[in-house]
Structure 1
Amino acid sequence: MPIQAVIFDIGNVLIEWQPERFYDAVIGEDRRRAFFDALDLHAMNDDVDRGAPFRDRIYAEAEKHPAWRDEIRMWHDRWSDMATPAIDHSVRLLRALRSKGVPVFALTNFGVETFEIGRAAYPFLDEFDRHYVSGHMRVIKPEPLIYDMVEQDCGIAPGALLFTDDRIDNINVAAARGWQTHLFDGPQGWADRLVAEGLLGEKDAQ
């Protein structure tokens, strides 16, 4: 089935998201490992991605764990230092697709407030034809409901959607619904896929 829209994840596809790298630089790898072992930080972040108020959720977690209060608060106070830098080649691919008239959507696990911070830092996040942001939708990948919500909203058959994401669990649920998928492991592989699908020429994909 011909592809009618291309869907990008954002974290680690268009913007690097590496909290471990940030904490390694700030508190050292040994303390970071102890920190991540002691707390379920990704569950905390999932709550934000589901729409929980960003500062309130992080600061409440910090009060539960006074030994790690400063480190937990950094998840809020220095979030923009974790969500960096942009993956420039992927941004070029986004723009190349749009220049060819290919509809391009974002499907991302992002909090309401964090997405606004991201938009301010990375204007290309406003260049999508449609945004599917988990914080506004109140459901996160890889829960099937979020994929169903995308299908219902865009009205495009699953087999005509091409979706890239860096997490295999997110990819597997989309593929099970009939979406065409690409596990993102770097922008060059994604560029090659877009060329192979006939959506971009080789020069466009550079």
Structure 2
Amino acid sequence: PFGSTTHYHLLVAFTVFGVDPKQATILDMQPPDMLAAWQRGDIDAGFVWEPTLIKLVENNGQIVLSSRALAEKGYMTADLAVARRAFAQKYPDLVAAYVKSLSRATDLYRKDPKAAALAVAKEIRLSEAEALRQMKTMVHLNGKDHLGAAYLGTSSKKGGLAKALKDAADFLVTQKTIRSAPALAAFEQGVNPSYVERAMK
């Protein structure tokens, strides 16, 4: 869909590989519509997330590029946890405990992927095999990873996430989804690694 992370990565891919987007017809489609168009043979390609992605692959599709590959080239997208500043300041231990539980979940996935997949499968009503397959397509970060330079960084030195958010906001401006994008400093102020630091003590 236009304005989504997959739309952003599609246009980034054109730039990264030196292709003029005007050479392609880009359609604004929700995942179910994309799948239907694919099954009819109306479209030649799609940039979409699970579970539609696997359905395209199962219908004679082939993955030629992933968001992970684009992230490795410096164009990250991510699922983020956001807390209101006032809430986080009032309940810092609660926020840190939440972050710690997420970090422990990642550690479990790395140590015992099947056990982690079983827990996820029960929660979102998927088969264990399907949950594990989808989990393998993602990058899972624990607290220590989040404090790295590529992601949140530390309280004293913010990481790459702030710039990734700024890049995404600039993209949304070009798509007329938002009117203007804040300066990078606003994103750096909004990224707060202190709760991860607290959780990792």
Q: Same fold (TM over 0.5)?
A: no
* TM-score normalised over the length of structure 1: 0.29
**Higher relative contact order, chain-length normalized (CA < 8 Å, sep 6+):** 1
TM-score of the superposition, structure 2-length normalised? 0.30
Structure 1 or 2: more strand by fraction:
1
